[in-house]
Chain A
């Protein structure tokens, strides 16, 4: 529902004067001009509202608080609190007899105004609570001495966008929902916990849908994935090391969720359940065929939180980009892990940030996630715009275990360090070189050969040499794929050719963008999805089906457009891999 209330900053008089505690019975609406029926309706409305308030809140009510029905509020305003007087729109009173009191605009409006009154009382002050501001989305900024941003980017799946106006309205709107919606604790769990702790009181609550759901980012299938925080044994700071490419120089910050395989009790053994591990990664979603640094500097790209399989992340970094991954356990209690995942889900469904290469990059987003979810991390002064510096600060604060990297071989074996694939290329090549007396000495010379030039050597090695050549041929395949991809991209960007294809790519990207912003799905509800999960998933799957068809068409065209040289190379490598695979099966099958 969308309605507006205007709050005029008042007199601090209410705060300064000693509060005269109200006996609930003493408060009443101004009776002037009310019919007996209206008086009765006003009284039961007030009674209902007071009955809903937590005791601590009710006790702060001042007996001198005036309530009245008003004809002179602006047309879009339901209520207003000014100088110790709450005015509600008289239209709401006229609707009252026709509605049950449970959830009427009048009850909402009254609770909203009472929330403003409470917030301004000495006991209130929720709209200045730093943790509430973190959770709500008036986040601290990495630069500007950590001042809070004026803009709230948590625009997705809001119950009432009026909450985004400022922290005071946010508190009033959210207290309304906290008091009236039994699902509030399911949909905005962190805020519900904060309110419940503040009032030392819980409203009636509904049972929540199980776990936390995320839209799967991989494969664009439109499937939802459900996470159970209790199955998460640990959270690691996952750092992709930098490389020479300008966009990757500083590395990339992510979080790895060490999720236990079904049936395995949470414990150190879960560290090797790699296939179940997930990664929380902030990525700029680029809706165009070319990345533009200028747009990155001016915040034109959305920054979103994605949940990815660890396996995919390992492949992308260590195989495709040849970058190492450090995975360092963060010190977190089970309760903190749960708070972190809840926050991550909230970001996933609501956060529409802007990606800035310097002031809002992956390190900043990861810092904010830790800072906003976990008060203990918020106190640790972690603020940084560089992934490695964030790691150093975590280490200085004793929040991360860096000792796991000291023994490199053990770290690789236990999954604390994932080596870039090229770390051993030369050593592997030397094995093959010695067995087969290959004319090349450096692995780069070998990989620079055409697949056809390598082919004659592939069927002659022993088990070790063949295994080495297999690893190297896979490297050659990835290189050929990257080259082909680069050729296609250049063609697409070449203004002289393929204008149709470019338009087509842009249109498919625009559709894909919807899948990458789950809040754009229309399933009803707000905050973390509950019973609307199935509706959201059905919509996402339909959308995914459409984009998949479009991608498939595009892909066919792209393959046909690939120059003959690239096609021959790719086919050659594929054939080499088949030869090596077949030989390896024969050699490995023999007892050694």
Chain B
């Protein structure tokens, strides 16, 4: 049930060189954070598509990844604790 994917993954996806070519959605969608990304930054980066869905749907599409990123931002900063979910989602898109 998983084997097809294993083949595909072995053939193409998992070599690190691939990260800079095909599987580049995260980087090409533009991340302002450069250099080394900490685990926390990765959470926020990975939530970019989820934040875009949230903003585009005026809050209707709300995934666990977005929730995790919002919680993380609020754990890290006082400003984030005062901001609304929509403001924080926009902040993720603005990064």
Q: At the interface, yes or no: A564 with Cβ under 8 Å from chain B?
A: no
Cα-based distance from A439 to B8 in the complex (angstroms): 36
Q: At the interface, yes or no: A548 with Cβ under 8 Å from chain B?
A: yes
Cα-based distance from A250 to B67 in the complex (angstroms): 30
Nearest CB on B from A196, distance (A): 37
Cα-based distance from A505 to B16 in the complex (angstroms): 17
Please state if B17 and A272 are interface contacts (CB–CB under 8 Å): no
Please state if B23 and A589 are interface contacts (CB–CB under 8 Å): no
Chain A residue with Cβ nearest B8: A485
Digitize A525-559: 1 where CB-to-B-CB distance is under 8 Å, 0 elsewhere: 00000000000000000000000100110111011
Please state if A488 and B11 are interface contacts (CB–CB under 8 Å): yes
Using known A-B contacts A273-B68, A311-B46, A581-B29, determine if residue A428 contacts B53 with beta carbons closer than 8 Å. yes
Nearest CB on B from A416, distance (A): 8
Contact partner, A505, options B1, B11, B42, Cβ 8 Å: B11
Cα-based distance from A272 to B49 in the complex (angstroms): 17
Please state if A247 and B4 are interface contacts (CB–CB under 8 Å): yes
Q: At the interface, yes or no: A467 with Cβ under 8 Å from chain B?
A: yes
Q: Within A282-330, which residues are at the interface with B (CB < 8 Å)?
A: 282-286, 288-291, 296, 301, 311, 314, 316, 320-321
Chain A residue with Cβ nearest B1: A252
**How many residues in B have their beta carbons less than 8 Å from beta carbons of A?**
54
Q: At the interface, yes or no: B43 with Cβ under 8 Å from chain A?
A: yes
Chain B residue with Cβ nearest A218: B14
Contact partner, B3, options A283, A468, A554, Cβ 8 Å: A283
Digitize A577-592: 1 where CB-to-B-CB distance is under 8 Å, 0 elsewhere: 1101110110011001
Please state if B12 and A485 are interface contacts (CB–CB under 8 Å): yes
Please state if B64 and A588 are interface contacts (CB–CB under 8 Å): no
Q: Interface-forming stretch among A21-29, A105-113, A407-415?
A: A407-415
Please state if B2 and A470 are interface contacts (CB–CB under 8 Å): no
Give the A-B pair count, Cβ closer than 8 A: 185
Chain B residue with Cβ nearest A282: B2
- Which residues of A are found within 8 Å of B49, using beta-carbon distances? 470-471, 474
Q: At the interface, yes or no: A68 with Cβ under 8 Å from chain B?
A: no
Digitize B25-68: 1 where CB-to-A-CB distance is under 8 Å, 0 elsewhere: 10011101000000100110010010111011110111111011
Please state if B14 and A464 are interface contacts (CB–CB under 8 Å): no
Q: At the interface, yes or no: B10 with Cβ under 8 Å from chain A?
A: yes
Contact residues of A: prevailing secondary structure: helix
Cα-based distance from A371 to B25 in the complex (angstroms): 41
- Which residues of B are found within 8 Å of A552, using beta-carbon distances? 15-17
Using known A-B contacts A219-B16, A286-B3, A471-B56, determine if residue A577 contacts B11 with beta carbons closer than 8 Å. no
Q: At the interface, yes or no: A190 with Cβ under 8 Å from chain B?
A: no
Please state if A584 and B93 are interface contacts (CB–CB under 8 Å): yes
Using known A-B contacts A274-B68, A489-B11, A582-B30, determine if residue A431 contacts B1 with beta carbons closer than 8 Å. no
Cα-based distance from A143 to B21 in the complex (angstroms): 46
Please state if B57 and A431 are interface contacts (CB–CB under 8 Å): yes
- Which residues of A are found within 8 Å of B17, using beta-carbon distances? 551-552, 555-556
Nearest CB on B from A271, distance (A): 8
Q: At the interface, yes or no: A484 with Cβ under 8 Å from chain B?
A: yes
Sample of 10 A–B contacts (CB below 8 Å): A284-B3, A320-B5, A409-B62, A415-B68, A424-B61, A477-B25, A485-B22, A509-B10, A512-B10, A559-B21
Residues of A bordering B, CB below 8 Å: 218-220, 240, 245, 247-248, 250-252, 272-275, 281-286, 288-291, 296, 301, 311, 314, 316, 320-321, 355, 361-362, 387, 409, 412-415, 418-419, 424, 427-428, 431-432, 463-465, 467-468, 470-471, 474, 477-478, 481, 484-485, 488-489, 492, 505, 509, 512, 548, 551-552, 554-556, 558-559, 570, 574, 577-578, 580-582, 584-585, 588-589, 592
Extra A-B contacts (15), CB below 8 Å, given A247-B3, A592-B86: A274-B68, A275-B42, A275-B46, A286-B7, A288-B7, A296-B3, A361-B1, A362-B1, A427-B60, A428-B57, A431-B56, A468-B57, A477-B24, A512-B10, A570-B22
Q: Closest 4 A-B residue pairs measured CB to CB? A: A581-B30, A415-B64, A468-B56, A588-B94
